[in-house]
Amino acid sequence: MSECYAVFGQPIQHSKSPRIHTFFAAQTGQNMSYTAQEVAPEHFSDNVQAFFVYGGLGLNCTVPLKELAFAYADSKTPRALRAKAVNTLKYQPDGSILGDNTDGCGLVTDLLDNHKLTLAGRRILLLGAGGASRGIIAPLLEQAPATIVIANRTPDKATQLAAEFQDLGGVSGGGFAELNGQQFDLILNATSASLSGQLPPLPDGVLVAGGVCYDLAYGNQPTAFVHWGLAHGAAHSVDGLGMLIEQAAEAFYLWRGVRPDTAELISVFDSERGRL
């Protein structure tokens, strides 16, 4: 019988995770199944408990469940403790549940390995101060950028988030209005604006000529922010599908101890998108 894994979230019907993990399992010869289950926050604990009681070995948790997963886990990896959010739960041999956060690692791997970008010495603008931003700040700071400026619609949230990570490097936070006159090499969109086809209010000139734009959101078509980057002189303007695949690969490795080859799957997805 195959070993069981799943993703919980709400909504979940459009999740690409079952396809990604099924691909990884076939590629690496792992006997496992991976399903998607719609779980409301108020039913999170009951559903997680039932999943593990009935033999499940690992879970991914996505919006809006990452903070609940953090609270649920008996122990956490250092990067999950830093993020205060968990996207991966693993059943341990002693029956306890380990919580990890693979989002930041997924983003950095996609930027460095797949897009061949350098982060050291770069001026990074991070848009948004929600759960995704929380997971990626520490892994970004590990790459020694010149600075990270967090801009958010609710400026206080950006200021508070920056304060949580200031011990790791140069990071500050505020509102979009404060970006006037500033310029960045890399702009990461970690707002959920793209999900409704909207754009954060960015001043002209905020992206250096030939800079990079990266939208954590992804879709079958380029997002509004990817279009914004291309229209504002970006040499490279891409969405977050690579991050999704890389964070999944890291979770798969945590669960199975085998690292899948992500390049093969990225090229499958890219060729499908190219046909649309």
> Which of the ranges 43-51, 114-122, 185-193, 252-260 carries the binding residues for ligand NDP, by CB under 6 A?
185-193
Q: Which residues contact 117 (CB under 8 A, 6 or more apart)?
A: 111, 186, 212, 236
Catalytic residue among 16, 66, 76, 90: 66
Rounded to the nearest whole angstrom, what is the least distance from the CB of residue 251 to ligand NDP in the complex? 11
Could you tell me how far CA 218 lies from the centroid of its own chain? Answer: 11
Amino acid at 116: K
For ligand NDP, the closer CB: 159 or 192? 192
Q: Are residues 5 and 30 in contact, defined by beta-carbon separation less than 8 angstroms?
A: no
Q: Are residues 23 and 267 in contact, defined by beta-carbon separation less than 8 angstroms?
A: no
195 belongs to the binding site for ligand NDP (CB under 6 A): yes
Residue with tokens 């009681």: 53
Beta strand 32-38 with 184-189: parallel, antiparallel or unpaired? Answer: unpaired
Active site residue 66: yes
Residue of 32, 190, 224, 226 that binds ligand NDP (CB under 6 A): 190
Instruction: Give the residue among 253, 273, 241, 182 at the shortest CA–CA distance from 25.
Output: 253
What whole-number distance in Å separates Cα of residue 78 and Cα of residue 223? Answer: 33
User: Tokens in use for 167?
Assistant: 């011990």
104 belongs to the binding site for ligand NDP (CB under 6 A): no
> Which of the ranges 10-18, 50-58, 69-77, 195-203 carries the binding residues for ligand NDP, by CB under 6 A?
195-203
216 belongs to the binding site for ligand NDP (CB under 6 A): yes
Kindly write out the interface string for residues 3-42 of this chain, putting x where it contacts ligand NDP by CB under 6 A and - elsewhere: ----------------------------------------
Give me the active site residues, please.
Answer: 66
Contact positions toward ligand NDP, by CB under 6 A?
A: 63, 103, 106, 128-133, 152-154, 157, 190-195, 198, 200, 216-218, 240, 243-244, 247
